[in-house]
Amino acid sequence: MDVEDLREALGAGTPAYRARQIYEAVYQRRVESFEEITGLPKAERAALAERFSLSGPEVVSRYDSADGTRRYLLGLDDGKTVEAVFMPEFHRDTLCISTQVGCPVDCKFCLTALMGLERNLTAGEIVGQVLTLARDNGLWADERRINIVMMGQGEPLLNLAAVLKATRILSDPKGLGISEKRITVSTSGITARVLELGVAEVRPRLAISLNASTQEQREAIMPITKKWNLEDLLAACKVYPLRPWEKLTFEYVLLKGVNDTDADARRVAGLLGNLNCKVNLIALNPGPGIPFETPDAERVLAFQARLKRSFPTFIRKPRGLDIYAACGQLKRMETLVELS
Ligand code: SAH
Ligand code: SF4
């Protein structure tokens, strides 16, 4: 709930400033019970506790990787579960959160796709993942270290209203206070929604999963791009209203022998040539039922070397591979299969 929602839920009988008081207590001070909102009369606190619940998603299981990464299976109010990942780094901590339970987009290299879509998450469940993980890892000691990537389960732009509402609460200085500069949303490229995102007053940074160097190649691994084709997507990127501090990010999953040749790298450089962007390369993280292989390290480096001539190009280091926490591996994996 934002302040407006709270105002409405509290009803006309409650003074208007109460909504703001409760909002700040919940998000800025992060109280864990109504009892702790000591600015409210005792009777009102009790009444709130009777009418509302203050719980976020609950930790059902946690898988700890040798590299410090933690994958969480979180329980929602209706009994469904969703995943989120905590990745500590030297200068910052990154929380990778979900926007849907499962995903309706059928990318052929992604384990989440095999779940299909179960449902959208609410704004509360998106913010709740941050609250739960930050609490479990003691991150509130210095929230300036926190980065949020909406790159867990789901296609965020197919749940845009909730994503934007969550972003407003997350970034509000009176909310969680995590600046929009430190929140990134990643999309498979739902062009119409990209344009919608661009005009939102408060919005995360944008990352786009390019993943191929031609329309034909892209269609073969991301069937949704038949509808949202490459040409229109790049046209939308060209007019996307970047803020002064912002660059577009393109993600590119490298699949051995499919999209990882020098010719591919050359074509990608051509496609993105006139955009203010950077590129993140991700060598495929394998999984059961995924019909692709991971390219060798030399191939990945050669691909990077070609793209680096045109834009800043990084290789995303896989995190939590041993616990199925890396990109494209979030599929509620409870038994840990040995990776070959
Ligand atoms: N649905 C959104 C965000 C979640 S996926 C999207 O697709 O952008 C986050 C990133 O992981 C995407 O760039 C996606 O292309 C990548 N990814 C998916 N499966 C992967 C896999 N098996 N190995 C490596 N990266 C993968
Ligand atoms: Fe969904 Fe992203 Fe996985 Fe594609 S890569 S199936 S859009 S989560």
Q: Please compute the mean of the pLDDT values over residues 194-203 and round it to a whole number.
A: 98
- Report the candidate in 20, 14, 12 with the shortest Cα–Cα distance to residue 43: 14
- Rounded distance between C-alpha atoms, residue 131 and residue 251, angstroms: 27
Edge-to-edge, what's the strand order for the sheet holding 313-315?
Answer: 58-64, 70-75, 81-88, 93-96, 146-150, 183-187, 205-209, 248-254, 277-283, 313-315
pTM over 0.85, yes/no = yes
- 110 pocket-lining for ligand 2 (C-beta < 6 Å): yes
d(CA 330, CA 152): 7
Q: Please write the tens of the pLDDT for every residue from 248-257.
A: 999 999 999 9
Residues 6+ apart with CB under 8 A from 334: 61, 73
Q: In what helix (H) or strand (E) does residue 9 lie, and over which residues does it extend?
A: helix 3-10
Going by pLDDT thresholds of 50, 70 and 90, the confidence category of residue 319 is: very high
Per the residue annotation, which of 155, 327, 334, 338 is the catalytic one?
327
Q: Is the CB of 327 under 6 A from ligand 2?
A: no
- Ligand 2 probe mutation, 96, 98, 111, 112, most atoms within 8 A of CB: 112
CB 201 within 8 A of CB 55: no
Residue 328, burial from CB neighbour count under 10 angstroms (0-12, 13-18, 19+): buried
Tokens 């909406």 appear where?
150
Instruction: Give the integer Cα–Cα distance in Å for 165 and 199.
Output: 14
Distance 47 CA to ligand 2 centre (A): 43
CA gap 144, 91 in Å, rounded: 10
Q: Is the pLDDT of residue 204 over 90?
A: yes
Q: Indicate if ligand 2 lies below 6 Å from the C-beta of 155.
A: yes
327 catalytic residue (yes or no)? yes
Expressed in angstroms and rounded, the spacing between residue 241 Cα and the centre of ligand 1 is 24
Which residue owns the Cα nearest ligand 2 atom 6?
A: 113
Contact in structure between 87 and 108 (CB atoms under 8 Å): no
Residue 289 has pLDDT above 60, yes or no: yes
Condensed to tens digits (0 to 9), the pLDDT of residues 151-160 reads 999 999 999 9
Is the CB of residue 94 below 6 angstroms from any atom belonging to ligand 2?
no
**Element housing 128 (H / E):** helix 123-136
* pLDDT at res. 140: 92
Asked if 36 and 107 touch (Cβ cutoff 8 Å), the reply is no
Using most ligand atoms within 8 A of CB, pick from 210, 221, 253, 280 the residue to mutate for ligand 1: 253
Cα separation, 184 vs 205, whole angstroms:
5
Task: Please say if the pLDDT value at position 340 is more than 90.
Answer: no
Instruction: Considering the candidates 24, 50, 83, 155, report the single residue annotated as catalytic.
Output: 83
Instruction: Kindly report, residue by residue over 169-193, the tens digit of the pLDDT.
Output: 999 999 999 999 999 999 999 999 9
Residue 339 pLDDT exceeds 90? no
DSSP per residue, 180-233: GGGEEEEES--HHHHHHHHT-SS--EEEEE---SSHHHHHHH-GGGGTS-HHHH
Instruction: Give 267: exposed, middle or buried? Use CB within 10 Å, 0-12, 13-18, 19+.
Output: middle
Residue 143 a catalytic site member: no
Compute the distance from residue 130 Cα to the ligand 1 centre, in Å.
Answer: 20
- Ligand closest to 185 (CA) is 1
Distance 190 CA to ligand 2 centre (A): 12
Which of the listed residues 82, 95, 99, 107 should we mutate to test ligand 1's pocket, taking the one with most ligand atoms within 8 A of CB? 107
> Considering only CA atoms, which residue is closest to atom 8 of ligand 2?
154
Centre of ligand 1 from the C-alpha of residue 52, in Å? 36
